[in-house]
A = this chain, B = another copy of it.
Amino acid sequence: MVTIYDIAAKANVSAMTVSKVINNTGRISEQTRKRVKKVMEELNYIPNSNARSLVLQQTQILSLLITDITNPFYTSLARGAEDSAKKLGYRLLFGNSDEDYTKEQDYVDMILSTRVDGVLFAPAGDHSLKHLEKLRAHNIPFVIMDRAVPGIESDIVSGDSKQGARNLVEYLINLGHRRIALVNGSLDVSTARLRYQGYAEALQLHGIALDEELVIHKSYREYKDEDQLLQLLQQPSPPTAIFAANNFLAVGVINALRKRGIRVPEDMSVVCFDDLDLSSALDPFLTVAAQPAYQFGAMGIQLLVERIQGSAVPESRKVILPSELIIRSSARTIGK
């Protein structure tokens, strides 16, 4: 690999002069500058960012840790983050924890040893606390995405899970549904708790008793376990509608229903949080509370960079992006 010393030798200057040309600092005559630049091109010089980072104590790299790269919500978020990072002059190091705390821990160590300038962190859940504390202990700025983690104060960009859930459930109630089931994510994820609360509030507001028999808490990703769903349906007074707490759960629920010959929406209404992008483009079927995932990422990077550059207020900032109720055809009036 060619280094600034190679350039220096060939251009008959010192390495420092080359460095000054590269960074546009110091006093260099136009003549010398041109000569150096020409040699740089001839030798195909590419600066070594490891060496640079070592002395500058900064890398111009941000890390984005998401929990599921196959989920459209996170890939849209990633694109928002990437575009925003690029605009601000940062590179992005992606990580994918697969909703797995062990993988998440590995990534945190990797992040620390890479000395990234900051982290956009979508936590797997409440137990991510110690990973965030580790980042903080090492003074790495971070912004939390999507899921709040009790016990940690920080900038965060999230959706309005409670309100979104309320909107969906009220929509179902307005269609005449009274027995509404909730297929939720794990309760150690903040969004799952809030969606549960929104669900409960909507019911209460309309004088409907919350029946815990109608609520399942599993994981946002285990959308293939059908046993619990079966139990749900075999109750004396089964639900007429199901609120799935995210897109993957909705797909799992609908698949399971169809396998049993239960049609959606004819026999069962289904709504969910998060849109499906391509799916919905192909077939506008699922009624959802869609979140502006791209904005999540773009906004997150912006907050993060402000934090890194010290231009942010000292207090932590909470950005809550509203979700949009998109009514399609997976739910219908009860009885008809």
Contact = CB atoms under 8 A, between A and B. Distances in A.
A334 interface: no
A23 to B, nearest CB: 14
A79 B96 CA distance: 8
A57 B78 CA distance: 30
Q: Report how many copies the assembly holds.
A: 2
Contacts of A137: 44
Given A113-B46, A115-B48, A138-B46, A70 B282 contact: no
Contacts of A313: none
A221 interface: no
Interface residues of A, number: 51
Interface stretch (A32-40, A149-157, A172-180, A273-281): A273-281
Interface string A60-91: 00000000011010011011001000100001
Nearest to A282: B251
A112 interface: yes
Contact of A251 (B47, B51, B281): B281
Interface string A243-262: 00001101100110000000
Contacts of A50: 50-51, 53-54, 59, 114-115
Interface string A138-172: 11000000000000000000000000000000000
Interface string A264-292: 00000000000011110111011000000
Contacts of A132: none
Contact of A255 (B47, B48, B59, B282): B282
A49 interface: yes
A94 interface: yes
B276 A278 contact: yes
Contacts of A44: 134, 137-138
A51 B53 CA distance: 9
Contacts of A139: 1
B72 A79 contact: no
A331 interface: no
A326 interface: no
A109 B45 CA distance: 10
A328 to B, nearest CB: 12
A96 B77 CA distance: 13
Contacts of A282: 250-251, 254-255, 276, 279, 283, 285-286
23 contacts: A1-B138, A44-B134, A44-B137, A46-B112, A48-B54, A49-B113, A49-B114, A50-B54, A50-B115, A54-B54, A69-B79, A69-B82, A70-B76, A70-B277, A70-B278, A82-B96, A91-B93, A92-B94, A94-B94, A251-B278, A254-B282, A282-B283, A282-B286
Given A50-B115, A54-B54, A69-B78, 9 more contacts: A46-B113, A49-B114, A50-B114, A69-B79, A78-B96, A91-B93, A251-B278, A251-B282, A282-B285
